Structure 1
């Protein structure tokens, strides 16, 4: 893709996506494996919140 002088968000994303490599399988597996049970629970029961931001807001003064 030849630069046109203007950088659109899509062009910037596309250029950055081409320069980045995919993570290796071991790091992805270990990161996902640590929270696999919580992830599958969230996917099976959509009533479960993916984060606890609403609870954090209630605690803060």
Structure 2
């Protein structure tokens, strides 16, 4: 994530998890093998990646932050 809030991604992109070109004003991101999630400055949630079970259907979500197990 750049200081401008723009997100860059690199990787295999087998599940389109690197499709973050239009993401702006992002304040937090989390990425895994098949998904990338972002939180916008306004709390909106963004998702890219495998969506065969609706797991990227986050249009109604609003969060303050996200984290991954680590």
TM-score for the superposition, normalised by structure 1: 0.20
More strand by share: 2
More helix by share: 1
More RCO (CA 8 Å, sep 6+): 2
Q: Which has the larger radius of gyration?
A: 1
